[in-house]
Amino acid sequence: MTDQTGSGNRRTASAQGLQRIIISVDAMGGDRGPAAIVAGLSKSARKNKHIGFILHGDKAVLDPLVEKRDELRGICEVRHAEDVVTMDDKPSQILRTGKKTSMWSAIDCVKNGEAEVVVSCGNTGALMAMSMLRLRKLPGVSRPAIAVFWPSRNPIGFNIMLDGGADIRADEVDLLQYALMGASYARNGHGIQRPRVGLLNVGTEEHKGRAEIKAAAELIAEAAPVAKFDYIGFVEGGDLLSDRVDVIVTDGFTGNVALKTGEGTAKMVSEALREAFMATPLSRIAALIATTSLNRLRKRMDPRRSNGGVFLGLNGTVVKSHGSADATSFSAAIKLAFDLAQSGFNEKLAARVAYTPGDTQDAPALIENKASGKK
Amino acid sequence: MTDQTGSGNRRTASAQGLQRIIISVDAMGGDRGPAAIVAGLSKSARKNKHIGFILHGDKAVLDPLVEKRDELRGICEVRHAEDVVTMDDKPSQILRTGKKTSMWSAIDCVKNGEAEVVVSCGNTGALMAMSMLRLRKLPGVSRPAIAVFWPSRNPIGFNIMLDGGADIRADEVDLLQYALMGASYARNGHGIQRPRVGLLNVGTEEHKGRAEIKAAAELIAEAAPVAKFDYIGFVEGGDLLSDRVDVIVTDGFTGNVALKTGEGTAKMVSEALREAFMATPLSRIAALIATTSLNRLRKRMDPRRSNGGVFLGLNGTVVKSHGSADATSFSAAIKLAFDLAQSGFNEKLAARVAYTPGDTQDAPALIENKASGKK
């Protein structure tokens, strides 16, 4: 990447005259180390001629890894960063001491306009804290959120839930903003023209649930026609996987518990299934016969295929890949980052939360006034 | 049941001279109707010679169902109740209008000492509201909780989580009481001598989580040695199914979302598995070959085997069976009710939450003072 034209111009022209979208990648902090990250970039580069990378981390480790990959030649700049954010680092502390980490360096590339989006598989709390500090929140956004995927029977193969754990609390205005950001993300990031938005609650009856959820239900219903999504009302835990909703809104505490409960349940059922097939010689033969079908099932349930939580509500796009991401999985996160950058989704989202276009007189006030009433 | 000796003596001597534990059963309000309930009682009666029933509901419907079952002869009294609580009834309203329902009648049998425990598969919210009104809370308990099961790799085959959805809020003192009640239930209801108790949170690190959860962590750690359980600290969603904990404490909102998320995930994986086996002729043959192993798996994952949420913190034991319970499932709930009555667990639980025996000077104060500080 010799032809970087500097801040403000985020798409560089390569030697071949191709327009490339530059992705800033934090190479450190994942459970499998930088080799898996570089292998993921390599996978992505083979499939996509419009991509370029700025890779952040220990140059002595990264240079040899990158040099081995022909497909990364000329499209992957390595930037040295001497420190690494570990999974045990506390977010509050790393903000003070983390200036020399690969994560900080990777985020700053988006801040100064050298890259369109940053991808990291490091410590989620630290990544969010650092992103908020360096990129700042979008005007009108009180709490940014992490949008995560759930496998579902919907045509795109998953549902979107937010907040997956950026903040442990959310009041009614936060929940309204999650609905607006989630709908915008579903539309501009995943092509769902009119997303169906549901609010997670303990029951679908009107009289159930916490006060802030009831208040949020009214705000979201009010905003839906203006922001061009369908509000379908309360949904329950089981609906996270259902095809009657596209975007599920909840606070980050509940969202995170649900996410880990779902992962834990799926893992337990899979393990029990494996044990069942290994139990007897006959069942082992059956497993052999059904290999193709079982592989299809495994692929469908494979969380690696939909890897990548997206931070919404910041001046810049941040994709959080799973900490244990392998090459396939990291490449999926890179693809998501690329698609988001290409669609210019963050600019559209910023417009969506700052004001509501196609609006009546009340519509901008709807968001602004409610937000100014916050504690 | 002709030899009922009246209030205060809950064990009746049958004609054969057997001591029987009497269970009060709400026959109405389940999705499958009273026939499934009576079939469940019949199953239980065949296995257990020390059981007797008082069955509440429409006598015109119930009498013929009971008369058909030889094993219920002489041990099942039918009490007429003309009304039924439906799944759509609002708890607040049914408290005013529900005096003639089978649910009310079934609960009152425990209140007036005719039965030791009540079992219903009706509307959970109504059952909790009515139980609180008629049975009253145990001294010192602010919010009763619903204890539910999760399949796990622990020796007894499941973990216990509370609150599963009795109340949508819980402060630190409520969470402490859930820990005390859950540990007592695990010990006296399920034979776990020294239960391991964990507090559900978004991360296992000390610095994460809501204020009331951090405060609860301190209270629970303080109470653990006195109340003779092990506090293992924070657990995450995935731990609901793990074997490193026996009792998981959380508020009813989070607990209910987690429960439904887990059920939804398990259902989706099972459906996908069924589809995978039906996909090709070869996979259908494989399924046939592996029938025994797959049936074993199905049995292990069968929620019917561990059917029954238990309401903790009331003057009397209430078992909530799943709304869609069939005979097998309802019989499992009856077995749980019987075991709880036989162990005298509610008396032990009452003692546990009212004061802490084997205590230092501070121990009773620990509970009482904190409770009196509540809003």
Residues across chain B: 375
Beta-sheet pairing, A158-162 with B196-200: unpaired
A residues 77..116 contacting B (CB < 8 A) = 88, 90, 92
Strands (E), A64-129: 76-80, 117-120
Beta carbons of B238 and A261 less than 8 Å apart: yes
In the predicted structure, residue A13 carries a pLDDT above the cut 70: no
CA atoms of A103 and A56, how far apart (whole Å) = 7
A35 pLDDT band, cuts 50/70/90, is very high
Q: What is the predicted ipTM?
A: 0.82
- Which range is least confidently modeled, A7-21, A110-124, A147-161? A7-21
The first and second tokens of residue B177, run together, are 């009481």
Residue A270 neighbours by CB under 8 Å, 6+ apart: A301, B269
Residue B45 neighbours by CB under 8 Å, 6+ apart: B51, B53, B69, B71, B72, B75, B76
For B311, counting Cβ atoms within 10 Å of its Cβ (0-12 exposed, 13-18 middle, 19+ buried), the class is: buried
In the block, tokens 């007036």 appear at B112
Residue A360 neighbours by CB under 8 Å, 6+ apart: A226
The conformation of residue B138, written as its DSSP 8-state character, comes to P
CA atoms of A276 and A281, how far apart (whole Å) = 11
Q: Which helix (H) or strand (E) holds B53?
A: strand B51-57
Contact of B263 with chain A, judged by CB distance below 8 Å, is answered with yes
Residue B230 neighbours by CB under 8 Å, 6+ apart: B194, B195, B196, B197, B224
Q: Helix (H) and strand (E) counts for chain B?
A: 13, 12
Whole-angstrom CA distances from A241 to A37, A231, B151, B205 are: 29, 17, 20, 29
In the predicted structure, residue A312 carries a pLDDT above the cut 50: yes
Whole-angstrom CA distances from A206 to A66, A199, A211, B42, B139 are: 56, 12, 12, 38, 32
Measure CB to CB from residue B293 to each of A169, A205, A283 and give the nearest one.
A283
Q: How far apart are the first and last CA of chain A?
A: 46
Residue B207 confidence (pLDDT)? 56
Tens digit of each residue's pLDDT (9 = 90 or more) over A162-198: 999 888 889 999 999 999 999 999 998 888 999 999 9
* CA gyration radius, chain B: 21
The CA-CA-CA angle for residues A309, A312, A314, to 5°, reads 130
Residue A315 neighbours by CB under 8 Å, 6+ apart: A111, A135, A136, A137, A138, A346, A350
Bridge partners, B9 (sequence order): none
Beta-sheet pairing, B309-312 with A19-26: unpaired
Sort out which chain B residues have CB atoms less than 8 A from A240's CB and list them: 261, 264
Residue A323 confidence (pLDDT)? 81
Measure CB to CB from residue B237 to each of A236, A239, A257 and give the nearest one.
A257
Sort out which chain A residues have CB atoms less than 8 A from B242's CB and list them: 264
DSSP secondary structure, B238-291, as one string: GGGG-TT-SEEE--HHHHHHHHHHHHHHHHHHHHHHHHHHHSSHHHHHHHHHTH
Sort out which chain A residues have CB atoms less than 8 A from B208's CB and list them: 125, 168
Q: How far apart are the first and last CA of chain B?
A: 46
The first and second tokens of residue B125, run together, are 């919210």
**Taking Cα atoms as reference points, which of B72, B105, B61 lies closest to residue B1?**
B72
Bridge partners, A280 (sequence order): none
Sort out which chain A residues have CB atoms less than 8 A from B163's CB and list them: none
DSSP3 helix / strand / coil % (chain A, rounded to 5):
50, 15, 35
A357 pLDDT band, cuts 50/70/90, is very low
CA atoms of B34 and B60, how far apart (whole Å) = 11
| Residue A301 φ/ψ, nearest 5 degrees | -90, -5
Q: Which helix (H) or strand (E) holds B225?
A: helix B211-227
CA atoms of B370 and B82, how far apart (whole Å) = 44
Give the three-class secondary structure for B161: strand
Bridge partners, A23 (sequence order): A53, A117
Residue A189 confidence (pLDDT)? 85
**Taking Cα atoms as reference points, which of B27, B204, B201, B181 lies closest to residue B119?**
B27
Q: Considering the domain B11-135+310-343 in this protein, what is its CATH number?
A: 3.40.718.10
What's the topology of domain A11-135+314-343? Isopropylmalate Dehydrogenase (3.40.718)
Measure CB to CB from residue A241 to each of B202, B253, B268 and give the nearest one.
B268
Q: Which helix (H) or strand (E) holds A231?
A: strand A230-235
Beta carbons of B264 and A297 less than 8 Å apart: no
A208 pLDDT band, cuts 50/70/90, is low
Contact of A285 with chain B, judged by CB distance below 8 Å, is answered with yes
Whole-angstrom CA distances from A314 to A39, A82, A161, A336, B373 are: 29, 26, 17, 17, 41
CA atoms of A60 and A78, how far apart (whole Å) = 10
Q: Domain A145-301+349-372's class?
A: alpha beta
CA atoms of B214 and B172, how far apart (whole Å) = 8
Residue B7 confidence (pLDDT)? 37
Q: Which helix (H) or strand (E) holds B350?
A: helix B345-354
* CA gyration radius, chain A: 21
Bridge partners, A24 (sequence order): A54, A118
In the predicted structure, residue A1 carries a pLDDT above the cut 90: no
In the predicted structure, residue A61 carries a pLDDT above the cut 60: yes
Residue type, position A59, single letter: K
Sort out which chain A residues have CB atoms less than 8 A from B323's CB and list them: none
Is the bond preceding residue B171 a cis peptide, omega within 30 degrees?
no
Residue A82 confidence (pLDDT)? 95
Is the bond preceding residue A163 a cis peptide, omega within 30 degrees?
yes
CA atoms of B175 and B220, how far apart (whole Å) = 8
Beta-sheet pairing, B51-57 with B11-13: unpaired
- Residue of A204, A208, A242, A268 to mutate when probing chain B, most B C-beta within 10 A: A268
CA distance B123 to chain A (A): 12
Residue B279 neighbours by CB under 8 Å, 6+ apart: A293, A296
CA distance B116 to chain A (A): 30
Residue A272 confidence (pLDDT)? 79
**Taking Cα atoms as reference points, which of B182, B189, B187 lies closest to residue B145?**
B182
Successive 10-residue mean pLDDT values, chain B, 375 residues: 39 57 94 93 95 96 96 95 91 91 97 95 91 92 92 87 90 94 90 95 68 92 94 93 95 92 84 79 79 74 69 94 87 92 83 55 41 40
A11-135+314-343 matches A145-301+349-372 in fold? yes
The CA-CA-CA angle for residues B149, B164, A178, to 5°, reads 125
Would you tell me how many other CB atoms lie within 10 Å of the CB of residue A122?
27
Residue B324 neighbours by CB under 8 Å, 6+ apart: B30, B31, B32
CA distance A19 to chain B (A): 41
Residue A358 confidence (pLDDT)? 40
What's the topology of domain B145-301+350-372? Isopropylmalate Dehydrogenase (3.40.718)
Yes or no: say if A165 and A175 are a contact pair by the CB < 8 Å rule.
Answer: no
Question: What contacts 24+ positions apart, CB below 8 Å, involve B205-208?
Answer: B205/A88, B205/A90, B205/B234, B207/A90, B207/A92, B208/A125, B208/A168, B208/B234
Measure CB to CB from residue A277 to each of B236, B280, B293 and give the nearest one.
B293
Taking the domains of chain A in order of start, what are their residue ranges? 11-135+314-343, 145-301+349-372
Report the mean per-residue pLDDT for chain A: 84
Residue B305 confidence (pLDDT)? 59
Sort out which chain B residues have CB atoms less than 8 A from A87's CB and list them: none
Give the three-class secondary structure for B206: coil
Tens digit of each residue's pLDDT (9 = 90 or more) over A115-148: 999 999 999 889 999 999 999 999 888 899 999 9
Residue B5 neighbours by CB under 8 Å, 6+ apart: B12
